[in-house]
Amino acid sequence: MTDRLPHEKGFHISWDQIHRDSRALAWRLEQQGPGGGQWRAVVAITRGGLAPAMIIARELDIRVVDTISVKSYDNQTRAEAVVLKAPQAEIMGDDGEGILVIDDLVDTGKTLELVRKLFPKAHFATVYAKPLGRDMVDSFITEVSQDTWIFFPWDMALQYVEPYRGK
Ligand SMILES: O=P(O)(O)OC[C@H]1O[C@H](OP(=O)(O)OP(=O)(O)O)[C@H](O)[C@@H]1O
Ligand code: HPA
Ligand SMILES: [Mg+2]
């Protein structure tokens, strides 16, 4: 299945912004570990979840960090989500209880739906969320509208722009 979603607006996130928003998410997650204690591990949904997961693991002093690789988009075109690499079975346990699964954003929710099926008791957190996928995530920081495409700093480069008052 593939479908092309219209994205009327762009939301451009700087490194500074994702750092601040990921820290805010870490602080929100601090009290929510199993029994109010420490999370057993952080699992990043690669690739987009890697940078936020690193910041969150650092803030919460979690040293066990693993990844699950899910691919679901080619540029702005959505395709069926597939797991390309699973996290270590000993880390995840039977159902993911006590594990913090981190992604940069939830859009349609298909990626998280797939990971949730595998680890139903994990806690799912994203930095940004769109309305269609919001119910798939347990914690997030900022919501944007469904017709907004979020541009992350790792996908962008600084470049010259002409002055507003041209020649
Ligand atoms: O809620 P959904 O509609 O499933 O979309 C959200 C997912 O899509 C993007 O990943 P992508 O599959 O593009 O891979 P990437 O992280 O490697 O860029 C994003 O990083 C999320 O993981
Ligand atoms: O808005 C988005 N931005 C970047 N990657 C994405 N993957 C799904 N939605 C998005
Ligand atoms: Mg991703």
Supply the DSSP string of 63-116, one letter for each residue: --EEEEEEEEEETTEEEEEEEEEPPPHHHHTTT-TTEEEEEEEESSSHHHHHHH
- Residue 33 carries which DSSP code? S
| Amino acid sitting at position 47 | R
Mean pLDDT of the region 74-78? 71
pLDDT at 2: 41
Q: Which listed ligand is nearest to 105 at the C-alpha?
A: 1
Could you confirm whether 74 is annotated as catalytic?
no
Task: Tell whether residue 91 is among the known ligand binding residues.
Answer: no
What's the ipTM?
A: 0.99
The ligand 1 site (C-beta within 6 Å) comprises 45-48, 71-73, 78, 81, 103-111, 133
Could you confirm whether 66 is annotated as catalytic?
no
Token pair in block for residue 58:
């650092």
Whether 74 contacts 61, CB under 8 Å: no
Could you confirm whether 21 is annotated as catalytic?
no
Task: Tell whether residue 61 is among the known ligand binding residues.
Answer: no
Mean pLDDT of the region 116-145? 98
Mean pLDDT of the region 113-142? 97
Question: Candidates 3.40.50.2020, 3.40.50.1000, 3.30.420.40, 3.40.630.30; correct CATH number of 9-153?
Answer: 3.40.50.2020
Its pTM stands at: 0.93
In angstroms, rounded to a whole number, what is the distance separating the alpha carbons of residues 10 and 148?
5
CA dihedral for 48, 62, 130, 24, sign (positive or negative) = negative
Atom of ligand 1 nearest to the CA of 69: 17
Task: Tell whether residue 98 is among the known ligand binding residues.
Answer: no
Whether 136 contacts 105, CB under 8 Å: no
Element (H, E) at 52: helix 50-59
Q: Is the pLDDT of residue 73 over 90?
A: no
pLDDT at 167: 60
Q: Is the pLDDT of residue 118 over 50?
A: yes
pLDDT at 24: 98
In angstroms, rounded to a whole number, what is the distance separating the alpha carbons of residues 72 and 22?
22
In angstroms, rounded to a whole number, what is the distance separating the alpha carbons of residues 110 and 149?
16
Atom of ligand 1 nearest to the CA of 133: 1
Element (H, E) at 126: strand 123-129
| Domain positions in the chain | 9-153
Catalytic residue among 3, 94, 103, 138: 103
Helix axes 15-29, 50-59, angle to 10 degrees: 50
| Amino acid sitting at position 96 | G
Ligand 1: centre distance to CA 163 (Å):
35
Mean pLDDT of the region 17-43? 96
pLDDT at 6: 74
